Each structure stands twice: as C-alpha cells, then as structure tokens.
A and B are shown apart, each in its own frame.
Chain A
Amino acid sequence: GAVVSQHPSRVICKSGTSVKIECRSLDFQATTMFWYRQFPKQSLMLMATSNEGSKATYEQGVEKDKFLINHASLTLSTLTVTSAHPEDSSFYICSAREGASADTQYFGPGTRLTVL
C-alpha cells in the first residue's frame, strides 16, 4: 500500500518552455501533497505544501509564479515549472500524506528535469 507515482520520470526541455509534472497517489487518498527539489549530493528541500482544493503554501524563497502547483483531487497534484531556465534543472520529488491525521509521507520515484 501507500504507492505514489510521478510522470514523467525524466524530461529535457529548452530554456523558456514550461514543464508539467504529475504526482498521483495510487492506492490511497492524499489529503496533503508535498513537492521537494534535490540537487546532487544534497538533501531534499521542501518547495511547497498543497492541500486538496486550496492554494499551495510555498516555502521561503520559492517563487510561486514560477512553480505553479495544482491539487485538484485527492489523488493528483501537478507542478508546472514555467519559463524554465538551466538553473531549474534538478530532481523533483513529490510526496503524499495518507489520511487526515497520518504523519508519514510516502514519496514518488522522482522526475529528473534538464533544461538546455
């Protein structure tokens, strides 16, 4: 149980284009989903927290107009990187929290974004 998927697993795009990443909870309803970014040999850095049906809460220093998050249902959240630049190249990972009171976050397999 508690399986989270991400799509795509890998994407290469040109500078200035937008990229959408999907995160799905496959066997549970996710009240809250989280988006992280991980640079090589670095830890996971939380970008934003999204609750189904409401606006995402962004961490300090994360541009909300650049990283658009939509959590339209209890099983799907999307992250859109708008006008991507090479410095946005990174490993993006989502996680989902099962249920209203559960503490544990289950992570997706990640999306490797490369901006040329």
Chain B
Amino acid sequence: EDQVTQSPEALRLQEGESSSLNCSYTVSGLRGLFWYRQDPGKGPEFLFTLYSAGEEKEKERLKATLTKKESFLHITAPKPEDSATYLCAVQAYRGGSNYKLTFGKGTLLTVNP
C-alpha cells in the first residue's frame, strides 16, 4: 500500500525566514510526486509534479526536490500570503490507466508578518 508522511504537521515562520517541508513516501513504482497548496475551505491548487530522483522545480519562492525516498518543498523568504496547507501526493504505476493519487496529511504553514 502506498504511504505518504509529511512533516512537520505545522510550521510557523517569520516573514523572510526560509525553511523546508518534508514528504516521505513508500510506493511500488513511482509514476509522479505532486505538491499542492490548499487554502482553508478551498480545493487544492497544483504547484509541481516531479517524476525522477534528482529533479527540481521552482516557482517564485518555492522549490521542490525529489529523491528516491522523499521530497522537499523549500520556501525562500516566505511572505504572509504563503500561509496555507501544503499537500504532497504520490501516483504509482498500476495496471490499466489508474492515475490514483495518495495524499499525505499536509503541513500547515503560517507566516507571520
């Protein structure tokens, strides 16, 4: 069974204080690892897809990296508007056309001004 564990559960930062969120995963045959941002009462917003170990992707203050066992979401000089829950999900190779995502519980990030 695919498993995704995110840490920490909650992270409080001061504006400008860089940090990283962790996503550890266990999956038999990784097809892709996904990062989403979710604001309270809203659906997840797509951020990144990573496919192979060593891959990195960047968007504004966010950078996602991938190894064979985990992914990191690095946040550089965060702003209060970066406050949200960040979700990690994995997609495994399965028979047929199954594109099922298995999500972690997320990291609640709060950035104080």
Q: Which residues of A contact B (CB under 8 A)?
A: 2, 4, 6, 32, 34, 41-46, 49, 51, 91, 93, 95, 97, 103-110, 112
Also in contact, A108 and B49, with CB within 8 A (given A32-B97, A46-B100): no
Within 8 Å CB of B101, what residues of A?
34, 44, 46, 105
Asked if residues A103 and B49 are in contact (CB atoms below 8 Å), the reply is: yes
Q: Which residues of B contact A (CB under 8 A)?
A: 31-32, 34, 36, 41-46, 49, 87, 89, 91, 97-106
A105 to B98, CA, bound (A): 12
Asked if residues B44 and A44 are in contact (CB atoms below 8 Å), the reply is: yes
Using CB atoms, name the residue of chain A closest to B45: A107
Within 8 Å CB of B89, what residues of A?
44
A95 to B103, CA, bound (A): 13
Asked if residues B103 and A105 are in contact (CB atoms below 8 Å), the reply is: no
Also in contact, A42 and B105, with CB within 8 A (given A49-B100, A107-B45): yes
Also in contact, A109 and B43, with CB within 8 A (given A42-B105, A103-B31): yes
Asked if residues B99 and A103 are in contact (CB atoms below 8 Å), the reply is: yes
- List 19 other contacts, CB 8 Å, given A32-B99, A93-B44: A34-B100, A34-B101, A41-B105, A42-B105, A43-B103, A44-B87, A44-B101, A46-B100, A49-B98, A51-B97, A103-B99, A104-B34, A105-B46, A105-B99, A107-B46, A109-B42, A109-B43, A110-B42, A110-B43
